[in-house]
A and B are shown apart, each in its own frame.
Chain A
């Protein structure tokens, strides 16, 4: 990740309620530049609201919002939007326009519209220029929305549930464009309610639920560090004796224990080895297990 003076996004204490519902409830988040950032959480977790707040579509009740080093307000927004590309959840495009018209309409609004790149993308997706947008398939609408969001070579790409309605091949093509942009030093935020959508591409993942961010983790570090250790001691010991550094959870299973470990695995294994035992083994966790763990923790503390 390239180090830049200001992060792509910095959110502090963000809150937004709709009537009685706290859609966003004290969110702090930082998205470094040059990364692919996954915003993960079930439907209704507050992902879309957070992204809409980021783009100035909604106004926060409290908190600070910074995009590309600038505070988000109605004075900075027009300029910021020259540098941000957004694909909304509903692909809210003008249905009555033809594809070519919609592209032309956009091109006139941006200072740096890259006509060459746009026609390359249109070819790649085989989007028909003279077709009305409302007559496109859902997948083609998503592709068109992405082309529109990339046309001005934005420094930050905000994609809300971007690959919904895409078949696997389309999804690959879609992601390949995002990946190319990030390879060029740009930043992408992808929201999704399906881990599978983001686990492959994301550098960082924030888990959101009920308006709060439960965790922000580097995905590769989760793969490397998050383990489970099965441990069956020879003599009865208290679970509290196993709450060692790096251990995030102890679960009794019969005579043994399953420890959830998030760091310092080597040191832990050494200490466990010193305790007389029948079984000591390390189990790799896949991401799904880890995220279920995060969700589960939230569930038990309402």
Chain B
């Protein structure tokens, strides 16, 4: 269901988005690892009191906690969500907008294969970016003198990728429905923002994509909630399927 001939083109079209995304994330990861010592000393020297001080101290008391909270718990999911929208919004709408969709769809490749190839190339790029940047962060931790077990840290990649694919799915769906990638991106951004609504309330918090991407429970329990990961994966798959069905029937 994948057209190898198309993979080259898709990679050619999206490679810079992924490369830039990876470089920014990797740089952030390195920065997080390198900053730990300074932050800890800084906070120790500051005359802070109250809630803020306790929170900062708790975070900085343990490198693993610090890194997880700032990597999976903050920077990674925020940036990959943006990256997922940027990659997803162009997937179909960019070609509809610049008129190449007609050319693409008159190549001897089934609509389903065109979509699958497009979707999977983008998804693979995002997954590699998330995984690669996390590995760089882990390596940087060791290099800055904070060795942590690889498996214990890198397991966070799984919910992060699953959640990224949900946001990506939303963007792809918008891209399939729209003929203009800027509008598709704007719509996806609005929807992605709405996805954070459940995290505002205690009862619905479990249904927040971003909450599940951060996998903060892992810090307290030490086990990954597979049901949460499966939920994210299912949502991502459902979005991809709907987008695929629309694409197969799309007119160009």
Contacts and interface: CB of A to CB of B under 8 A. Distances in A.
Is chain B in direct contact with chain A in the complex (CB below 8 A)? yes
Interface string B1-36: 001111011001100000000000000000000000
A82 B251 contact: no
A94 B100 contact: yes
B203 to A, nearest CB: 44
A105 B252 contact: no
Interface in A98-115: 101, 105-106, 108-111
Interface string B84-120: 0000000000000011111101111111010000000
Interface stretch (A52-60, A203-211, A217-225, A231-239): A52-60
Contact of A78 (B99, B108, B248): B108
B13 to A, nearest CB: 8
A116 interface: no
Nearest to B112: A74
Contacts of A94: 9, 100, 103
A82 B13 CA distance: 24
Q: Which of B3, B6, B110 has the largest number of chain A CB atoms within 10 A?
A: B110
Contact of A74 (B101, B102, B110): B110
Q: Is the interface of A mostly helix, strand, loop or mixed?
A: loop
| Interface size bracket, B side | 20 to 34
Contact of A109 (B12, B102, B109): B109
Contact of A88 (B103, B109, B111, B249): B103
B198 to A, nearest CB: 38
Nearest to B101: A92
Contacts of B101: 92
Interface residues of A, number: 31
A106 B109 CA distance: 11
Interface in A52-109: 52, 55-59, 74, 77-82, 84, 86, 88, 90, 92-97, 101, 105-106, 108-109
B108 A59 contact: no
Nearest to A18: B251
B4 A74 contact: no
A108 B5 CA distance: 5
Interface of B: 3-6, 8-9, 12-13, 98-103, 105-111, 113, 248-249, 251-252
